[in-house]
Amino acid sequence: VFVHLGFAPVIEVFDLNRKFDEDNSTCKINLGLGAYRTDDGKPWVLPVVREAEKRVVADENINHEYLPICGLHPFRQAAARLALGDNSPAISENRVLSIQCMGGTGTLRLAAEFLKQKLKFDTVYVSSLTWDNHVGIFQATGYSQIHEYSYWDPITKGLDFQGLTDDLKNATEKSVVIFHTCAHNTTANDPTEEQWKEIFRICKRKQLMPLMDCTYQGLVSGDVDTDAFPLRHLDSEGFEFLIAQSFSKNFGLYNERLGNLCLITKDRTVLDEVRSQFEFIIRKLWSNPCHHGARTVSTILNDPKLCTEWKEEVKVMADRIKSMRKLLYNKLIELNTPGSWDFISSQTGMFIFTGMTKPQVECLCTKYHIYLTKTGRINMCAVTSKNVDYIAKAIHDAVVN
Ligand code: PMP
């Protein structure tokens, strides 16, 4: 029965991890996976997460009973507040449904399922380029129309705002549009506040449904409120929209699979019905979510002292990424590497999108044991003060030869 299946397409970042693990070279570097590293190149369990976990484990009132289908209540409330802010009209008017999910991925999947099953959406627009799973998730959910809107300009290595707005103006009305709230993965380019306002004006005119992927909140500016500008703007303008939050990156809780879906409606009287529709779907997906990550994040966000500490630690991550950008840029300039590298500092978030060609990427991998996705995206978090010289020299060689 199973013999004719053959292999499914390779999942690139996990395949890179495998190749990296199997590589015996002492100079190998993994610039593929989007995970934070310390300046020693090690994973970082945030001290505030350690502290909260200690409290969770020590609490004898906590047990392993099932959570409600929509998850842990104090977590859900805190997650919505983190996205929409303390002065959110939608929260104060009780117009937000907040649902704990399985990672950012599960959150997006739930949004896709709900919009398709219950509201009959069948068309989605994703940015060109984007995180490839945006397409994968909507394909797997059965959307028949998956389109791209312009985003990346390879000439300027920046945002193609004209192309973006033109494409949204020509989009099919009442479609879903996925936006990256901040730290656009893969192009590392975000719209300015003025550009966001224009984008959302078009969404309103065309009755497009914004689905805001919020995976890197805090990791651009170091401030979670600043990075949430597009969400707060949508809220203040009275939009109906959805937010898919991930807690993998800004809490370093990658393997706890913690996410949260916020649905903001104009009419609070529908919330109970909408929640029941979500529960009906979730029951068949994961039935009810995991506890540990949600309890840990809830402990942090609902304790003013721990919350302040967490915000400081997010800033530590964002600042380290920024300083590595500067360092890598300076090294390439010192080496006189051909091309303009200004984009390294103008791009934002965890990644730089180098625009390197496939042969150049291959050269980094085969000659230097430096692993990165074939689009030429570099995870800046994996660049350290110790390996930056080696990386810069390798890039120089790949570009020159
Ligand atoms: N959206 C984007 C844009 C991402 O980059 C990622 C993670 N790479 C996700 C969603 C999924 O996050 P999670 O690991 O929490 O499923």
Last residue of a domain, one of 302, 328, 356: 302
Tell whether 179 and 321 lie within a shared domain: no
Question: Which residue has its alpha carbon closest to ligand 1 atom 5?
Answer: 185
Question: Which residue has its alpha carbon closest to ligand 1 atom 10?
Answer: 104
- ipTM score of complex: 0.99
Question: Which residue has its alpha carbon closest to ligand 1 atom 13?
Answer: 104
Tell me the backbone φ, ψ of residue 69, rounded to 5 degrees: -55, -40
Query: pLDDT at position 183, please?
Result: 96
Distance from C-alpha of 146 to C-alpha of 175, rounded to nearest angstrom = 10
Annotation marks residue 389 as catalytic: no
Tell whether 145 and 276 lie within a shared domain: yes
DSSP string, 329-397: HHHHHHTT-SS--THHHHS-TTEEE----HHHHHHHHHHH-EE--TT-EEEGGG--TTTHHHHHHHHHH
Tell whether 38 and 90 lie within a shared domain: no
Catalytic residue among 160, 167, 190, 213: 213
Tell whether 353 and 250 lie within a shared domain: no
Q: 183: alpha, beta or left, given left = phi > 0 and alpha = psi -120 to 50?
A: left
CB 223 within 8 A of CB 256: no
Q: What is the CA(244)–ligand 1 centre distance, in A?
A: 10
Nearest atom (ligand 1) to Cα of 258: 15
Domain span including residue 350: 12-46+315-400
Distance from C-alpha of 40 to C-alpha of 44, rounded to nearest angstrom = 10
Tell whether 371 and 256 lie within a shared domain: no
Query: pLDDT at position 101, please?
Result: 98
3-state SS assignment for residue 50: helix
Distance from C-alpha of 268 to C-alpha of 288, rounded to nearest angstrom = 24
Structure tokens at 313: 């630690």
CB 174 within 8 A of CB 121: yes
Q: What is the CA(41)–ligand 1 centre distance, in A?
A: 21
Tell whether 84 and 215 lie within a shared domain: yes
Q: Consecutive 10-residue runs of the chain (401 residues): their mean pLDDT?
A: 94 94 95 94 97 97 96 98 98 98 98 98 97 97 98 91 98 97 95 98 98 98 98 98 98 98 98 98 98 98 98 98 96 95 91 92 96 93 96 96 86
Annotation marks residue 249 as catalytic: yes
Integer angstrom CA distances of residue 220 from 183, 198, 275:
6, 21, 32
Tell whether 189 and 272 lie within a shared domain: yes
Nearest atom (ligand 1) to Cα of 105: 16
Query: pLDDT at position 33, please?
Result: 86
Pocket-testing residue among 246, 249, 379, ligand 1, by greatest number of atoms within 8 A of Cβ: 246
Structure tokens at 260: 């949260």
Residue 242 sits in a domain whose CATH number is: 3.40.640.10
Structure tokens at 204: 């309103």
Last residue of a domain, one of 256, 280, 302: 302
Tell whether 274 and 326 lie within a shared domain: no
Tell whether 19 and 162 lie within a shared domain: no
Nearest atom (ligand 1) to Cα of 106: 16
Annotation marks residue 213 as catalytic: yes
Catalytic residue among 44, 131, 310, 341: 131
Question: Which residue has its alpha carbon closest to ligand 1 atom 9?
Answer: 104
Q: Is 352 exposed, middle or buried (0-12, 13-18, 19+ CB in 10 A)?
A: buried
3-state SS assignment for residue 259: strand
6 domain residue, yes or no? no
Catalytic residue among 116, 157, 249, 331: 249
3 domain residue, yes or no? no
Structure tokens at 140: 């797997």
- CA atoms within 13 A of residue 260's CA, in its CB half-sphere: 26
Exposure class string for 105-120: b at 16+ Cβ within 10 A, else e: bbbbbbbbbbbbeeee
Integer angstrom CA distances of residue 351 from 114, 126, 136, 182, 243:
31, 19, 21, 12, 22
Tell whether 289 and 321 lie within a shared domain: no
140 domain residue, yes or no? yes
Q: What is the CA(102)–ligand 1 centre distance, in A?
A: 11
Query: pLDDT at position 290, please?
Result: 98
Q: What is the CA(355)–ligand 1 centre distance, in A?
A: 21
DSSP string, 185-222: TTT-----HHHHHHHHHHHHHHT-EEEEEES-TTTTTS
Q: What is the CA(290)–ligand 1 centre distance, in A?
A: 18
Nearest atom (ligand 1) to Cα of 108: 10
Q: What is the CA(246)–ligand 1 centre distance, in A?
A: 7
Structure tokens at 232: 């707060």
- CA angle at 210 for the pair 313 and 117, rounded to the nearest 5°: 110
Virtual CA dihedral for 105, 108, 113, 115, nearest 10 degrees? 180
Q: What is the CA(61)–ligand 1 centre distance, in A?
A: 32
Residue 33 sits in a domain whose CATH number is: 3.90.1150.10
Distance from C-alpha of 186 to C-alpha of 130, rounded to nearest angstrom = 6
Pocket-testing residue among 102, 108, 248, ligand 1, by greatest number of atoms within 8 A of Cβ: 248
Tell whether 208 and 85 lie within a shared domain: yes
Integer angstrom CA distances of residue 71 from 38, 252, 282, 290, 316:
32, 20, 11, 8, 30
DSSP string, 16-36: HHHHHHH---TT-EE-SS---
With a Cβ cut-off of 6 Å, ligand 1 is lined by 34, 103-105, 131, 180, 185, 213, 215, 246, 248, 259
Indicate the number of domains in the chain. 2
Other CB atoms within 10 Å distance of the CB of residue 77? 16
143 domain residue, yes or no? yes
Q: Tell me the one-letter amino acid at 218.
A: G
Q: What share of the chain is helix, strand, coil (3-state, %, to 5)?
A: 50, 15, 40
